[in-house]
Structure 1
Amino acid sequence: MIVRELSLQNFRNIADCTLTLGEHSNVLFGSNAQGKTNLLEGIYLFSTGKSFRAGRERDLIRFGCDAATLTLRFQFQAREQQAQIRLFREGRKKEVTLNGVKLKTSEMLGSFSSVLFAPEHLNLVKEGPGERRRFLDFALSQLKPRYYAVLSAYQKTVAQKNALLKDMARFPQLGDTLGVWNEKLAANGAFLVMNRYQYLSRINTLAAGIHRDLSEGREELSLRYLGFHEGLDDSGYRDLGAITQAFRRALEERESEEIRAGVSLVGPHRDDFDILIGGESCRIFGSQGQQRSAVLSMKIAECEAARAVFGEYPVLLLDDILSELDPQRQSYILHHISGKQVVITTCDRDRFAGLAQQNLFEVENGTIRRQQGL
């Protein structure tokens, strides 16, 4: 996977720019709040159709403008392709095209893949389960377009069931329709759980080896899926019918609790996974260095898992991440970006002086200027 060229018009603080990237290391440097991360965000949008930042889609459009246009020329499996995304402030839905053909966002997924590693990912261990679910959902949506479609349908059903549960406090007779929503949740939710479990199992194997290298053999990392489906073994997690039945049982057991709470309490929207070092919770017992090593191992594993699916590495996006890592971890990640196209943002260009075949770009107030290599 190689990005040839990214063009942005009226995107964030960027009025108009075209960034031509090399096949190896591309370093975007400049002071904070100049637009470096906006360029990574522009690339990442073509992977998932969504920003990795919080906020509304309309916030991606430059202040005072009605629309933004993003165009990406890239190579995937020896084929040159072009994708475009148009965003509108009012009145029109987002438009996505691939090689001139209009698509839904879900139909674009799998056509281009990138893996992002940003400072906020270091909170994967420390923060609540929502961050870890997001990690799985973003990764799986790129690898399996159907996953994104099922996830969207599941989230809509959860919202509809929640509305019903709230209304039941005043209109108990509405409870007759609760079973309909539960059946929809069980069907789609089981699919999500099966795919999350299988992906996490793959990441677990890859990340364990990476973490072993990173800790020089002193520590063992493992990941464990957590959810409503207690009692399922590995074979059960790979059986859609078994997961569906477990989901139905959990919904029945907690129905009265859900009615009292007025919200859906069971399902993959509440699931989580444990990050363990030596069998102990990394969140509770891990040092800051161990927590960062665990996340670093998971992100490199994400990259390797994508390669296994696509047959080539995804584009690796590093958003000022080295400033958050100690020298040992900096050295490790720099030695693991060879053979990949990497786009790196930094405030300190000298940090990457040793990178071979690098392209250097200065970013200032939304303007990009190519520089001579170090």
Structure 2
Amino acid sequence: MYLARLTLNDLRTFRRLEVELTPGIHVITGANAQGKSNLLEAIAMLATTRSQRGGVDLDLISWDALAEDPIPAARMEAEVVTAAGREQLEVSIVGQVVAVGVPPQRAGRRFRVNGVARRASDLIGRLRVVFFAADDLSIIDGPPAHRRRYLDITLSQLDAAYVRALQRYARVLEQRNSLLKRLQERRGKPDELDFWDGELAEAGAVILAARAEALRALGRDAATTYAELAASESEALEVIYEPRVPPAVAARLREHDLAEQLLEALVAGRTEDVRRGLSLVGPHRDDVRFLIGGHAAGVSASRGQQRSAALALRLAEVAYSKARTGDAPVLLLDDILSELDPARRARVLAVAYGVDQVLITTPDEAHPSRTELPEATRWRLQHGQLVLSE
């Protein structure tokens, strides 16, 4: 799998960029604030429909477009080559104008596959990426929402059923929480929860089972890789899934009656849910625990240990994606190699040679050096344009 062509229009710092790419390793250098991270963010959005940075969609539209265009919009297009053939993917972020002369306050997303308007769920997974970034440390030491977001982005690219369940779960959860608020205010009947509980349990069971299966594989491979990256240490990495369900449900994540068990837990917890006005049980409150030497990595580990754990997890993700689909993902490395010691840098570059395409950004032309990557295609990003380096 690789990108053959990428076009960006009015995306953050880019007014218009169009570039053709080949399989292999591409090193993109440029000074700070030239848009290196924006470039990789755009590719990731074409894979996941989400910005890696979070935030609001309107922030993706360039300032020039917001100031000059009647209907400001950012557009990302790519031609993707896989074993099955070529596909054209497009993601547009369109400002929602309510009156002439009034800047938009929000934006909506639109998607196309081979020129045909599609839903987000139809686009996700047609391009698959693994995104290595400096802020991957937040997966280890950040709040639980960061770890759930990591799981959702990873699994959505591999499993269409997971995407559908995640979307359904989010809609049902919003409705259930709204009803709980009304019940808290004594404006409804408890049996109104029956329908929403059933729907939440069905979608939630798909999410719980997929996360448990993925983390078994990711945790195993990440532990092995961590031991290689931190060869001088005797402490092992453990990755532990902590689903926010009662222990009896957590023990049945691989069973066919998981949805029934989750439904029973939702019904049993109604009284407390109504008292609090929100849903307390379910995958929307899941967490993942990272232990190094038996201690919480986010609290007790050094920054070097945390960085090794995050890197091990990403490398495990590459292997998991390839094992699930039979086709290696595109690797996106956003200015991380310059921060790694030679041993860790060599480990990442060894994985890079095992996939079809890698894009590496760096402000330092010496890292990675031409000796480390003699066959890489090298680009210079300046003033919103990519130019081949000599």
- TM-score normalised according to structure 1 size: 0.93
Counterpart contact for 1:85–1:97, Cα < 8 Å: yes
Cα distance in 1, alignment partners of residues 209 and 96 from structure 2: 38
Which residue of the partner structure matches residue 135 of structure 1? 150
Cα distance in 1, alignment partners of residues 189 and 374 from structure 2: 65
* Partner residue of 2:226 out of 186, 198, 211: 211
* Partner residue of 2:261 out of 246, 263, 276: 246
Which residue of the partner structure matches residue 330 of structure 1? 345
**Structure 2: stretches of 5+ with no match in the other structure:** 66-71, 98-106
Counterpart contact for 2:46–2:76, Cα < 8 Å: no
Superimposed CA distance per residue, residues 11-46 of structure 1 (whole angstroms, 9 cap, x where no aligned partner): 111111112223221111112211111111111112
* Partner residue of 1:113 out of 128, 133, 153: 128
Q: How does 1:76-225 map to 2 (within 5 A)?
A: 76-77=82-83, 79-90=85-96, 93-216=108-231, 218-225=234-241
Which residue of the partner structure matches residue 4 of structure 1? 4
Counterpart contact for 1:307–1:313, Cα < 8 Å: yes
How many residues are paired up? Answer: 370
Please state how far the C-alpha of 1:327 moved relative to its aligned partner: 4.0
Counterpart contact for 2:131–2:331, Cα < 8 Å: yes
- TM-score normalised according to structure 2 size: 0.89
Cα distance in 2, alignment partners of residues 133 and 167 from structure 1: 28
Is 1:318 equivalent to 2:333 in the alignment?
yes
Cα distance in 2, alignment partners of residues 349 and 300 from structure 1: 24
Evaluate the alpha carbon distance shift between residue 246 and residue 325 of structure 1 in structure 2; reply closer, same or farther with a 3 A threshold.
farther
Counterpart contact for 1:49–1:105, Cα < 8 Å: yes
Cα distance in 2, alignment partners of residues 187 and 167 from structure 1: 23
Identity over aligned residues, as a percent? 34
Please state how far the C-alpha of 1:352 moved relative to its aligned partner: 1.1
* Partner residue of 2:303 out of 267, 280, 288: 288
**Structure 1: stretches of 5+ with no match in the other structure:** none
Which residue of the partner structure matches residue 381 of structure 2? 363
Counterpart contact for 1:211–1:219, Cα < 8 Å: no
Q: Which amino acid aligns with 2:88?
A: Q
Cα distance in 2, alignment partners of residues 109 and 367 from structure 1: 27
Counterpart contact for 2:7–2:17, Cα < 8 Å: yes
Please state how far the C-alpha of 1:126 moved relative to its aligned partner: 0.6
Superimposed CA distance per residue, residues 279-306 of structure 1 (whole angstroms, 9 cap, x where no aligned partner): 3322233222211111111101111111
Q: Which amino acid aligns with 2:234?
A: R
Stretches of 4+ aligned residues off by more than 4 angstroms? none
Please state how far the C-alpha of 1:333 moved relative to its aligned partner: 1.7
Superimposed CA distance per residue, residues 93-141 of structure 1 (whole angstroms, 9 cap, x where no aligned partner): 5332222333211011221111101111111111111111111100110
Counterpart contact for 2:25–2:358, Cα < 8 Å: yes
Q: Which amino acid aligns with 1:90?
A: Q
Cα distance in 2, alignment partners of residues 41 and 195 from structure 1: 26
Q: Which amino acid aligns with 2:14?
A: I
Which residue of the partner structure matches residue 323 of structure 2? 308
Please state how far the C-alpha of 1:78 moved relative to its aligned partner: 5.5
Structure 1 stretch displaced more, 222-231 or 186-195: 222-231
> CA-atom RMSD, angstroms?
2.0
